[in-house]
Structure 1
Amino acid sequence: MNPANGAELAGESGLLQCRDPATGRPQREQTLREGRFVGPERFFDREGRLLRERTVNERGNSEGRTAEFWPDGRLRREEHAVNGRPQGPARSFDSQGRLERLAFHGDGRELFSVSYNPAGQPTRLACPERSAMPEDRSLCGFGPAGAADTLLYFQDGGKAAQRRYENGRLMASSEWNADGAQTSEWLFEHGRRVFRRYSADGPSGAARLPAPVRREERIHEPDARPLTDRGGQLAVQRRWSANGQLIEQTRYAAGRETLEERWYANGERRERTVLTGVGAAARLQGEFFRDDGRLTHRSLFTADRLPTGVQQRFHANGQLASEETYSAPDSRGRTRLEVRRQWAEDGELMADDVLLEDGSRQRKPGLPSTP
């Protein structure tokens, strides 16, 4: 009988067994019911060892227990299905019979899962919104014991992460690398999700630091997202240098940048840019500094990045070097240079020009004009 030929199977019922013609070893067993494969079925490898078994329903989908086996007959995986969809507990075992993964399915999805290393320590964990099985209670912070601080491990037994759960909700998380150094953490502060990244990498070309230092921080506006979700509106973002000096800070309001600050690794301010107003009235005001803290220039730009108002540059000694005054934006958003002044390093005014609409310069008597 050819199991692929529907005409040969029509009306037949019973157990169909297929064997290797050369060795006589079983290849598969399937239950026939009036010409259709309905009921228990088993599949074997080339050596005749059981690989997997399940029960098929009238729709051709798995129903009840499904199982897979290692070549020595040990259970490899088992779960229960309802019309082809996993339902309830699912367990996976390694070749030595040790529990490798435990999960629980419901509502058409996986609600809970935990994976283990060979020592039986948890390596990965996904908690449900509500307790799904006894094994999730101590790991995910369900029940009278309250919050749970759960350690996760690498395959070799090293500490990989520590997570704090309250009734299945992740409240804090810290992670370490294989060398035992902390790499990141997530936590709630004042209702805001906070992410911090740590690194022991030194400056370019330098040796690694003796211990990790904070290098990055992101603070999100309060929302209902899970703790480790990288989406949502930012409130503050910061970066640090290898010596622990804050070198960059950006603040946000309603999803847009309102303040950006930068520092040199020596602690001196490098840049400060403030965004005010919205739409056509938006202005970007910036101040820029040398690494000794002295101001190099000030600028003011429109939303279209065109200069407006007063722009200033400074000599290395801190004295004002030049000042340009631009008009307010016209109906097309354009601006025009109206006044230009220049000073020597000793503060002497060297040029003072008014620029007219046709581009010509009106020079102040007694001073040389700018080129």
Structure 2
Amino acid sequence: MRFERQLLGLSIALMVCAPSWAVQRCELNGESVNPNNGHTTAGKSGVMRCTDEDGQVRRREQTLREGRFVGPVVMVLADGERREYSVNERGNRHGLARTFDAKGTLRKEENLDNGSNVGVQKHFAETGYLQELHFSDERRTVLTIAYLADGSLKELRCAPTSVLPQDREVCGHGGRASEVTLYREPGKPSGTVSHLKGQMQRLSVLDREGRLVRNEELKDGRRIKRVFYTSGQPRSETDFIERDPNGPGGREGTAREWAESGQLTQETTWAQGHEQRIQQWYLNGKPKMRQQIRREGRELERTIESFWDNGKPAAVNAERNGRLWGWQKYFNEEGVLVREDEHGERGLLQRRKRYNEQGGLEREERFLEDGSRI
């Protein structure tokens, strides 16, 4: 009896969890077929039509060629959405694909090559106007233009060369820099942007109250980006040489950060794609940390000077490949040396010297690999 109850429970679970296609009804050339059973479609050609009143896909029309699903497909989902596309011999979407909502409005139009977007891609709003225009090249989206209902621009990302008639003026492909206002909603600007030959020259971003949040400019071969507090005070700035992101060289320039009071709190210098120097300050203007970074092949060395908030030295540390190396110095708030530690291979502590308030050596200890002292 217990086994029968278990079997009944399993049967109910299978019925509940069965996929929606389990109750689909399909026919091909007037004959009943099962797309999950290749024997029923082997060698046949035509349009298979399926219906499933309970599934997510309520209606499906798919082309068969000699038993293989190749060619046009139409699918109607439970919410009324309709998808039209074609599949190639690999089973991937290929060619023009369209998606319509339950009202019959075209919402998406794509061009595909073996499942990847190529060329023009369009997205439409519920009311039918063109909402987004994209262009894909080698599986990358190189152009994006987004529109509001009144035709004003909401978003703009340009390609190095003109790829569509719509990008020629706004992306500065006509021989002079463009000047474009972007809008958050009709009549409410979110910022401005300028391009020349697809390269961004200037950008400003506004918040909903019209305050400047961020700006960017290309000046004398350098890309300068700034972020602002709501008070208008600068929050951060990066000033780097403009380089091809896929080319050699890497990041080179300076990055800075400020407190809202206007006090500079950090400055980082980059060269050949790596940090070279980092400086930090307390809000009272006193130095907080200075870090010098050196690279030689795979070796990375850092010298780090730390300070108390009164400007006196707090520590001088040396690192090699992320581990303490050599002698480390530690000071009290008066700037008097109170301790020195020596670290060897793998960062292990080897020796420690302690000093009194007058700077005299008070005690010296040696450490073994297990941390014990001698």
Distance 1:276 1:45 in 2: 61
The answer to whether the 8 A contact 1:273-1:287 is kept is no
The Cα of 1:153 is off from its aligned counterpart by 1.9
Instruction: Give the Cα–Cα distance (whole angstroms) in 2 for the partners of residues 63 and 253 of structure 1.
Output: 45
Asked if structure 2 preserves the Cα contact closer than 8 Å seen for 1:262 and 1:270, the reply is yes
Matched with 2:91 is: 60
Residue deviations 1:207-249 (CA, integer Å, cap 9, x gap): xxxx5322222334664349xxxx945624230324xx32424
Q: Who is 2:158 aligned against?
A: 127
Q: Which amino acid aligns with 1:215?
A: R
2:170 aligned counterpart, secondary structure: helix
Percent of matched pairs sharing the same residue:
24
Matched, 1:307 2:329: yes
RMSD of equivalent CA atoms:
3.9
Larger relative helix fraction: 2
| Equivalences for residues 97-246 of structure 1 within 5 A | 97-144=128-175, 146-155=176-185, 157-200=187-230, 211-220=231-240, 223-225=243-245, 232=251, 235-242=254-261, 245-246=262-263
> Larger Cα Rg: Structure 1 or Structure 2?
1
Q: Structure 1 143/156 Cα, relative in aligned 2: closer, same or farther at 3 Å?
A: closer
Report the 3-state secondary structure (helix = DSSP H, G, I; strand = E; otherwise coil) of the residue aligned with 1:62.
coil
Contact 1:40 1:56 in 2 (8 A): yes
CA distance in 1, matches of 2:340, 2:45: 93
For residues 328 and 95 of structure 2, the distance between their equivalents in structure 1, rounded to whole angstroms, comes to 70
The CA deviation at 1:98 is 0.6
Question: Which residue of the partner structure matches residue 62 of structure 2?
Answer: 30
* Maintained 8 Å contact 2:85/2:95: yes
Gapped regions of structure 1 (runs ≥ 5): 201-210, 290-294, 314-321, 342-352, 360-371
Deviations 1:309-356 (A, max 9, x none): x9883xxxxxxxx85598997999867467854xxxxxxxxxxx7547
Counterpart code for 2:194 = R
In 1: Cα distance, 2:220 partner to 2:33 partner: 69
Q: Give 1:124 deviation, angstroms.
A: 2.3
What is the TM-score of this pair, normalised by structure 2?
A: 0.67
Q: Which residue of 1 aligns with 2:71?
A: 39
Relative to structure 1, is the Cα distance of residues 158 and 248 closer, same or farther in structure 2, using a 3 angstrom cutoff?
Answer: same
Q: Which residue of 1 aligns with 2:277?
A: 257
Residue deviations 1:79-120 (CA, integer Å, cap 9, x gap): 222333332212121121111111122323322222222222
**Which range is displaced more, 97-106 or 298-307?**
298-307
SS at match of 2:168: helix
| 1:42 to partner: Cα distance | 1.9
**Counterpart for residue 74 of structure 1:** 105
Q: If the length of structure 1 is used for normalisation, what is the TM-score?
A: 0.67
Call closer, same or farther: CA 1:159–1:354 in 2, change over 3 Å: same
Task: State the one-letter code of the partner of 1:240.
Answer: A
Deviation at 1:276, TM superposition (A): 6.3
- Stretches of structure 2 lacking an aligned partner (at least 5 in a row): 1-31, 295-299, 319-323, 366-374
Number of residue equivalences = 308
Contact 2:351–2:364 (CA<8 Å) still a contact in 1? no
Distance 1:282 1:333 in 2: 19
Q: Distance in 1 between matches of 2:53 and 2:352?
A: 90
Partners of 1:283 and 1:54 in 2: CA distance: 61
| Secondary structure at the counterpart of residue 169 of structure 2 | helix
Contact 1:249 1:262 in 2 (8 A): no
Could you tell me how far apart the structure 1 residues matched to 2:105 and 2:141 are?
25
Relative to structure 1, is the Cα distance of residues 234 and 98 closer, same or farther in structure 2, using a 3 angstrom cutoff? Answer: same
